[in-house]
Chains A and B, each alone.
Chain A
Amino acid sequence: AQSVTQLDSHVSVSEGTPVLLRCNYSSSYSPSLFWYVQHPNKGLQLLLKYTSAATLVKGINGFEAEFKKSETSFHLTKPSAHMSDAAEYFCVVSPGAYGGSQGNLIFGKGTKLSVKP
Chain B
Amino acid sequence: DTGVSQDPRHKITKRGQNVTFRCDPISEHNRLYWYRQTLGQGPEFLTYFQNEAQLEKSRLLSDRFSAERPKGSFSTLEIQRTEQGDSAMYLCASSLDRIRETQYFGPGTRLLVL
Contacts and interface: CB of A to CB of B under 8 A. Distances in A.
B100 A110 contact: no
Contacts of B48: 102-104
Interface size class of A (residues with CB under 8 A): 20 to 34
B106 interface: yes
Interface stretch (A43-51, A61-69, A70-78, A79-87): A43-51
Interface size class of B (residues with CB under 8 A): 20 to 34
Interface of A: 32, 34, 36, 42-46, 49, 51, 90, 92, 94, 96-97, 101-110
B50 A110 contact: no
Contacts of A32: 100
Given A32-B100, A42-B107, 7 more contacts: A43-B3, A49-B102, A103-B101, A104-B45, A105-B103, A107-B43, A107-B44
Contacts of B58: 104
B105 A44 contact: yes
B100 A103 contact: yes
Given A103-B31, A104-B33, A109 B100 contact: no
Contacts of B95: 103
Contacts of A105: 33, 35, 43, 45, 93, 103
A106 B48 CA distance: 13
A103 B30 CA distance: 13
A97 to B, nearest CB: 5
B26 interface: no
Given A104-B56, A107-B42, A109-B42, A46 B102 contact: yes
B108 interface: yes
Interface in B39-66: 40-45, 48, 50, 55-56, 58
